[in-house]
A and B are shown apart, each in its own frame.
Chain A
Amino acid sequence: MIQSNALKTQAAPTKQDIAANRFAQQGRWFPWFMLAPSLIIIAFVVLYPMLYSVYISLTPFNLLRPETAAFDITKIFRNYERLLDDDVFWKSVINTVLFLTITVNLEYVLALILSQLIARVTWGQSVIRTLLMVPMMFAPVLVGFQFAWFFNATVGLVNNALMTLGLMAESKAWLVDQPSGMIALMIASIWMNVPVMTIILLAGTLSLPAEVYESAEVDGAGWWVQFRHITLPLLQPFVLIALTIRSLDVGRAYDIVRIMTNGGPANRTQVIWTYAGEMAIRNSRFGLASAMSMVGVVLGVAFTLYLFWQLIRSRIVH
């Protein structure tokens, strides 16, 4: 092979080149240098408590007995052993998965419908968008109280309305019975959070290129065909972002459940975080509560990784 003479005649680096190269190499560290204060703070605020929580989960720590925080090799897996045998904990895991799956999917369907309808509004769309966001402005605790009153067996709005309309003969204990207790929680969560997903999907819909729809119309594609073959596929990245955000939120469900049913009665509506909260705050058993939290975190991380993998796949495909 004949080597190019261009290589032999390449100019030697000048002092400016050397200086620029050194700066470029140093510059690779510059972003990290700028991020360092934030990372240090995050390490203290997130990483240290997380590691401490892992440690505590390996001890029988009881808040009212500080000496139980000491490491005892004979008891390091006791909390996790207790969880394996704890029917209530596994019930709370199942309830959490059911709550997450049903709530997020229903939110998605409703949000998709609302976003498509709002996208078609030509006059007053900004007003509608603002009104849509009203439920988001309420604190989850207030939403919990509101819906607890709605579903109250004695003075609740739902019972009064249904009995007045003749649809029900006697009042129902919505928050006590199964599965109406979980359904009531889902309704409260969906009411509050559909706007979040709607806003994301609406933003995605409005950002879609108009030319694609124009071409489809020229080709004679109707509304349903356009929705199925253009809108939905192009919305995938936004859908996955919305599902990821909402899944993580719902997976951490606490406020609404705590206020409306507190996981009861008889642990019927218990979810992971209300059970962990009860164990930590009401029973002072921080070790066991930390072990529950670890299981919850592992499930959450696994779920997040799966969703992000789906998101990356959808971006590659499209």
Chain B
Amino acid sequence: MSSVVSVFQYLGGLPVTWLLTTLIAYRLALAVHQRCGNSAWLHPVAVATLLLVALLLLTGVDYATYFEGGRYIHMLLGPATVALAVPLYHQLARLRRDWAVLLAGALIGSALAVMVAMILAGWLGASRPTLVAMAAKSVTMPIALGLTEKLDGVVSLTSALVMLTGILGGALTQPLLGLMRIREAHVIGFTLGVVAHGIGTARALQGGQEMGAFAGLAMGLAGLLTALLLPICLRLAGFA
């Protein structure tokens, strides 16, 4: 019996164990998502994260030990950000035709998301890492985490808020636009991409190719604009 316990203790300290556990948790989360009719509230990232957090709390393994294994997956966010240029390029014809309208939509949507979040959170007494996370939360995860590092924020806090924002935006966009009597697929898709980044894009793809393509375009534009302008704006505002 004691040797079984010591084997588990040994494995808990190995990076490969946590690499494996992360992949299993994600696979389970995908199955749950599909089983529940692709519900917007049961996004695979949220379910996988909950499973892993529960496991870490149960076993008493700390995050640093977990991340020794998790870092191999985390590292791929860099090339994944670069890869976003490919779907953006696929929308080149649309981008050439409607670039001014799309740029304005992405700019206004992203700027308001950042300003409302930072002002409200600051007014309600949030700490600095929470404010940095609020500034970065609306863009796609790899860009948000890159921004957080540049702003000396707390990466894991930002990633949690990015995830929550994606789930919230993915679930609220269609009902809210329904209230505004907006039903055009390209507007719904673009809005999903601006407010709910990758999670919104995945959601938009369920609404068809046009909706999905506009969401991917919006995610790329909003991410790029925010990454380029936010650090400069925050510096001018005396925040960073």
Q: Is this pair of chains taken from one and the same complex?
A: no
Task: Name B residues whose Cβ lies closer than 8 Å to a Cβ of A.
Answer: none
Task: Name A residues whose Cβ lies closer than 8 Å to a Cβ of B.
Answer: none
